[in-house]
Structure 1
Amino acid sequence: MNSTRFTPADAAELYGIHNWSSGYFRVSDKGEVEVTPGPGLNAVLPDIVDEIVARGESLPVILRFPQVLAGRVRQLNEAFRTAMREYDYQGRYQGVFPIKVNQRRMVVETIASAGYEYAHGLEAGSKAELALCLAQNLHPDALLCCNGFKDDGFIKLALWGRSLGKNVVITLEKFSELERVLKVARQLGIRPAIGVRFKLNARGSGQWEESGGDQAKFGLNAGELLQVVERLRQEDMLDALVMLHTHIGSQITDIRRIKVAVREATQVYSDLVDEGAQVKYLNVGGGLGVDYDGSKTTFYASANYTLAEYAADVVYTVQEVCKSNEVRQPTIVSESGRALTAHHAVLVVPVIDVTGPTRGLQSIPEAAEDQHQIVKDLEEILANINTRNYREMYNDAVGDKETLHNLFNLGYLTLRDRARGEALFNAILQKLAKLVAGLAYVPDELEDLPKVLADKYICNFSLFQSLPDNWAIQALFPVTPLDRLDERPTRQGTLVDITCDSDGKIEKFIDLRDVKATLPLHDPGTRPYYLGIFLMGAYQDVLGSAHNLFGKVNEAHVTARPGGKHLVELFVRGQKARRLIESMGYEEDMLRGSIRAQVDRARAAGRLDDTQTVELEEDYGEELLGYTYLEYEE
């Protein structure tokens, strides 16, 4: 990074690609981002985008890489297999994917297919999710865990699933659900397989720390758990209790919290076995973290452990407690969702414009003949500021800018004077930023200069639809230009979307040491400039809102081939405007009828001729059936 020439290796370091990509993305020698889903496989992301555009499709687009999904399934299962061989663990591991993380068909089917040889299962938290899961081709031993609160219909569907040969386990989230399960099971004559979620005292870390502990939304306490055991014993159904389920939250950043929780869960499991329960599955829940910022710390956007370390610590802890208590070692179950899906999806957004104060002297309006003295004062500051007087000059400039606006409000300053004064102030800030960049100490009042001077890169997407977690909980996602990574970025920017909402912006970016307020970017110039937003495959697809009626974006399912080749196996077009409008209670016929009536009145009044009438109705119809995002004609 210190050399004069900027290289792709410098770009990889600048954007932290090696730190957060888990080996699935890299920068090529040509300065382009590539996906690398496996040995000998790579595909160039700008090439994929160019092909999509050449087909006449519109951006933004989500690129999905099923090979990455399948690779994550294998990595998780092999990590547990390796740990179990190392410790001579006497049980097995079976993963379960909670489809609430991403219910997209490609995601669920890819995980089910890649996980078949591992008996990797699914988790449903609603009747609709269960209906989806039952239709999947799962290994006969694969678990289908039914979590969440349940009514009779949910329980019936789960029990019918057992009749279909599925390994369905109904998790009790509260004590009162037990009687409901027993009642429905008697009605259908189907013996249930029951799991019980237990409220651990242990708690997670990070954004979802409140998911665990005594105040957790789901789960039974120790007394209620013992009541379940006794009630099943009364029914001569203690063998139906097959799973102990625990969960302390999503995106757990600290491995020590995981080990504490697993130890407590295994102790509960051991006591259940001593009570006569034939529990064979110990479900340690979700929480396997994703290192979004690449810092490998306990920061909320990171995780201080690897997938292999997670598996090893879980296996070792379960085995240690079981050996100490002299009970059989259970099949370990985890419900990892984020860690499986985050890496497989990249949101590609085109930059459509850049605004901001970094235009320099050339953007300063010409001076008026009778220019006000306050503007002349700002000119003098700009000409004379240097490393010896920059703090004094900065304070003078701030005061002059405030005076400038006060004078304008009182009518003593023209609009031209105001425009020139504001431009001069921005130029002063630019000069200040260059002066302090090389200083060992930057005064507190100047620390926010990069953010103040940042350009706003207007991108064709909706934050609320595609990255709702960034808006709602300030989640961080890596952002990187897809090409030109052999060129040094010369600007600092923030990202704004095309919604009519001031919150539709990204002003926090990943950094190894902290959170950056700006992102290094290139001057787009006249060429298309595409940004990739990475690690957004978990939750974002299913949490997105229709703010401003921007709908789901186009998506391409892409397979990487040897030699940098790729195949776009499937292109799924995003939501049409008509579908979004109908979801709000309107009907297309009603809309068209209203427009037609208005057109007839306008034509009768002479505001439209016959040609315009046809053209207006055609344009209106095209937009109803069109993409909800901006489409520019070249």
Structure 2
Amino acid sequence: MTSLEQAVQTYGVEHWGAGYFGINKQGHLIVRASKDDSRVADVKEIIDHLVGENKVKLPILLRFPQLIASQVRALREAFVQASREFGYSAPHLAVYPMKVNQRREVVEAFLQEGRKYGYGLEVGSKAELYAALALDQPPESLLVCNGFKDEAYINLALLGAAMGKNAVVVLEKLNELNMFLRLSADATRKPMLGARFRLYSRGSGRWEKSGGETAKFGLTTTELLEVIRQLREHHRLNELKLLHCHIGSQVTDIKRLKNAIKEAARVYAKVRKMGVDIEYLDVGGGMAVDYDGSKTSYEASANYTMQEFANDVIYIVASICQDEHVPEPTIITESGRILTAYHAMLIINVQDEIETVIDEIARTDVDEDDPQAVVELRDIRDTINVKNYREYYHDALEQKDELFTLFNLGYIDLEDRAKGEVLFWQILEKVERFARTSKFPSEEFNDLKKLLASKYLCNFSVFRSVPDAWALEYLFPIMPIHRLNEPATEFATLVDLTCDSDGIIDQFVDLREVKEVLEVHPYDRQPYYLAILLIGAYQEAMGSFHNLFGTVNEADIIIDEEGRFHVQKLIAGHQIGTILDLVRYDRQTLLDGFRRNVMNAVQWSHITEEQAGQLLESYQRLFHNYTYLE
């Protein structure tokens, strides 16, 4: 097997890449403009161009908006094919949930492609609705207004309806109905009304609790009937046009989705038979991204495809409508993760390697006058082999415990302890190598690979750029973007710049299990770049400013018909000054305070006035420095 073939297998690109990613003959990560497209961009060349020509500093977030467009087309084609196969006559319309990624560039990329199919937007807050009202939606598309509401929220929806948008105010709680009826009573053009009902069915994976009887959102059956009763009483039942349900994000098991769709379709049919002219059935989101490529119901995967999802939605709704003798509704989906996850990757550079002792200290000299535990560890190191490594490993553990006991009792000094530590690490390195070649490795040696792995200090913040990796221990594909034609002979975990022990990534995707180390190349002090992929959904919206590491530099990349890449847009990340402003440190106040402290130092003769001027100049200049290492 060549190094390139090994890299494809090691990093699983063909499994989680969905046809968008690959490795070229130069050993570089590549991106395709659409699935299995001949238009290909070399990620290493993009980074070299940005760093060399544009002087952009890492870390850099690369966006490929064409991948959003490709996913929108794929969704459209999946439902068209499903409708054709099962004879479904009503349309399918997608709405993009802005909470998934509110960045204007992302929303506009969705709308640019989605307007061809009448696709719209979903919002869940006043701020999202405020932004959506200014965006150029297709006239026939929906603006679905979810989330808890106050009067200002409903007034914004009324503004949208007045300007011609097809706004739908979806009731989350019963008391929102009275507020809507009162505020919209005199409106010439009213928003449509929707109702979110609470499904008995639950999802699967991390967000399973989003569905079921104890879910945070939605009306109970009794409350839904009360909404219908009150609307009929106010002679406004004709305004209720949409029923909505949602069982959570990243639903990994298609059986759970099918159960939810069956329940939703049955509720729709029963409401229609009550004389309510429902036109839209919004089955929510939840379509999962296969982050690890295993195609299973594991929380980082999905045991179904987009086409299977579309087929099940169309078939189930069509069957129940036929069974209940009610019209087929326009089906609305709100799957944002599947549309945006693939389009963004974070490129980080390795700043340093934090090695274990064995790599930093030469072979340890031991004489017979050293403590017995040290001598024993030396003898184990020198005589351990593939036949005795299991027994000698246990002996080494015993001698290490003895070493630390003697140190804590004051019988050996720091130099002796250091010798013993080095010897123990050298023994572990041999044990791990022998265990790796064994046909039947014992479970007790599984942790050695992680224990002996280096820590690659990387120029990024887990909390800012991949918060789900920390908060939810979520998996994202990670791989080098170059040197993939060389053997990856080292193992490492990735640590970030923050002063927090949680700022580490030590779980990595694999087809069969979750790896605790990442295969990497030896760090030779030359630029070494890693990509964290499939981070286009939720990560930016949920990232925090831990240790005041801000947003990263961004580049929007377009791939033309000849396969050449073009930098469509550059967006600067936070500087020290801008991130401090977010936490209410005014620039002038900072300068005044620093100047006061400097002048105190002059007064106390710690520095000269000339040095004071140099300090002030440096302080002002660094105000515009990138928050990450340069």
The separation in 2 between residues aligned to 1:610 and 1:71, in whole angstroms, is 62
**CA offsets per residue over residues 459-512 of structure 1, 9 Å max, x none?**
010000111111101110000000111111011110000100001001111111
Instruction: Tell me the residue number matched to 1:328.
Output: 327
Instruction: Tell me the residue number matched to 1:22.
Output: 18
Please give the secondary structure, in 1, of the residue aligned with 2:204: coil
Identical aligned pairs, as a percentage? 45
From 11, 14, 30, give the equivalent of 2:7: 11
Please give the secondary structure, in 2, of the residue aligned with 1:441: coil
The separation in 2 between residues aligned to 1:46 and 1:619, in whole angstroms, is 34
The separation in 2 between residues aligned to 1:430 and 1:449, in whole angstroms, is 8
The separation in 1 between residues aligned to 2:610 and 2:553, in whole angstroms, is 33
* Contact 1:478 1:510 survives alignment (8 Å): yes
- Deviation for aligned residue 1:8: 1.6
The separation in 2 between residues aligned to 1:240 and 1:333, in whole angstroms, is 18
Please give the secondary structure, in 2, of the residue aligned with 1:406: helix
Instruction: Tell me the residue number matched to 1:234.
Output: 233
**Amino acid in structure 2 at the alignment position of 1:129:** E
Distance 1:365 1:590, change over 3 A: farther
* Contact 1:97 1:337 survives alignment (8 Å): yes
* Contact 2:162 2:188 survives alignment (8 Å): no
TM-score where L is the length of structure 1: 0.97
- Deviation for aligned residue 1:586: 2.1
Instruction: Tell me the residue number matched to 2:596.
Output: 597
The separation in 2 between residues aligned to 1:363 and 1:165, in whole angstroms, is 76
**Amino acid in structure 2 at the alignment position of 1:409:** N
* Contact 1:44 1:565 survives alignment (8 Å): no
Superposition map of 1:248-397 within 5 A: 248-357=247-356, 359-360=358-359, 363-367=362-366, 370-397=369-396
2:94 aligned with 1:98, yes or no? no
- Deviation for aligned residue 1:361: 8.6
The separation in 2 between residues aligned to 1:357 and 1:364, in whole angstroms, is 14
Instruction: Tell me the residue number matched to 1:48.
Output: 46
**Amino acid in structure 2 at the alignment position of 1:208:** W
Instruction: Tell me the residue number matched to 1:627.
Output: 626
Instruction: Tell me the residue number matched to 1:476.
Output: 475
Instruction: Tell me the residue number matched to 1:192.
Output: 191
- Deviation for aligned residue 1:416: 2.3
- Deviation for aligned residue 1:187: 4.4
- Deviation for aligned residue 1:438: 1.7
Instruction: Tell me the residue number matched to 2:500.
Output: 501
The separation in 2 between residues aligned to 1:297 and 1:520, in whole angstroms, is 23
The separation in 2 between residues aligned to 1:609 and 1:250, in whole angstroms, is 61
- Deviation for aligned residue 1:420: 2.0
**CA offsets per residue over residues 548-588 of structure 1, 9 Å max, x none?**
00011111111123454211111101112222222222211
Superposition map of 1:103-122 within 5 A: 103-122=102-121
**Amino acid in structure 2 at the alignment position of 1:154:** Y
- Deviation for aligned residue 1:352: 0.6
Please give the secondary structure, in 1, of the residue aligned with 2:68: helix
- Deviation for aligned residue 1:414: 2.6
Please give the secondary structure, in 2, of the residue aligned with 1:115: helix
2:512 aligned with 1:513, yes or no? yes
**CA offsets per residue over residues 386-424 of structure 1, 9 Å max, x none?**
222212111111111112222222332232222221111
**Amino acid in structure 2 at the alignment position of 1:272:** V
* Contact 2:361 2:422 survives alignment (8 Å): no
**Amino acid in structure 1 at the alignment position of 2:45:** D
- Deviation for aligned residue 1:53: 1.1
From 14, 19, 28, give the equivalent of 1:32: 28
The separation in 2 between residues aligned to 1:27 and 1:103, in whole angstroms, is 31
- Deviation for aligned residue 1:287: 0.1
Structure 2: state its 5+ residue gaps. none
**Amino acid in structure 1 at the alignment position of 2:143:** L
* Contact 1:358 1:455 survives alignment (8 Å): no
Instruction: Tell me the residue number matched to 2:167.
Output: 168
**CA offsets per residue over residues 315-355 of structure 1, 9 Å max, x none?**
11111111111111111100011111100000011001111
- How many aligned residue pairs are there? 627
Please give the secondary structure, in 1, of the residue aligned with 2:174: coil
**CA offsets per residue over residues 31-81 of structure 1, 9 Å max, x none?**
100010233311110111111111222100100001111111111112111
Instruction: Tell me the residue number matched to 2:529.
Output: 530
Structure 1: state its 5+ residue gaps. none
The worse-fitting range, judged by mean Cα deviation, of 559-568 and 42-51 is 559-568
Instruction: Tell me the residue number matched to 1:247.
Output: 246
TM-score where L is the length of structure 2: 0.97
**CA offsets per residue over residues 172-206 of structure 1, 9 Å max, x none?**
00111111000000144442300100101111000
- Deviation for aligned residue 1:228: 1.1
Distance 1:382 1:562, change over 3 A: farther
The separation in 2 between residues aligned to 1:535 and 1:339, in whole angstroms, is 10
The separation in 2 between residues aligned to 1:134 and 1:261, in whole angstroms, is 31
**Amino acid in structure 1 at the alignment position of 2:516:** A
* Contact 1:459 1:495 survives alignment (8 Å): yes
The separation in 1 between residues aligned to 2:548 and 2:476, in whole angstroms, is 24
Distance 1:358 1:407, change over 3 A: closer
The separation in 2 between residues aligned to 1:369 and 1:386, in whole angstroms, is 23
- Deviation for aligned residue 1:373: 2.7
Distance 1:361 1:390, change over 3 A: farther
Please give the secondary structure, in 1, of the residue aligned with 2:482: coil
**Amino acid in structure 1 at the alignment position of 2:40:** N
- Deviation for aligned residue 1:367: 4.6
* Contact 1:365 1:416 survives alignment (8 Å): no
**Amino acid in structure 1 at the alignment position of 2:38:** G
Instruction: Tell me the residue number matched to 1:82.
Output: 81
* Contact 2:96 2:120 survives alignment (8 Å): yes
Instruction: Tell me the residue number matched to 1:124.
Output: 123
The separation in 2 between residues aligned to 1:456 and 1:7, in whole angstroms, is 23
* Contact 1:363 1:423 survives alignment (8 Å): no
Question: What is the root-mean-square deviation in Å for CA atoms of aligned residues?
Answer: 1.4
- Deviation for aligned residue 1:369: 8.8
- Deviation for aligned residue 1:268: 0.5
Superposition map of 1:126-165 within 5 A: 126-165=125-164
**Amino acid in structure 2 at the alignment position of 1:309:** E
Instruction: Tell me the residue number matched to 1:569.
Output: 568
**Amino acid in structure 2 at the alignment position of 1:324:** D
Please give the secondary structure, in 2, of the residue aligned with 1:186: coil
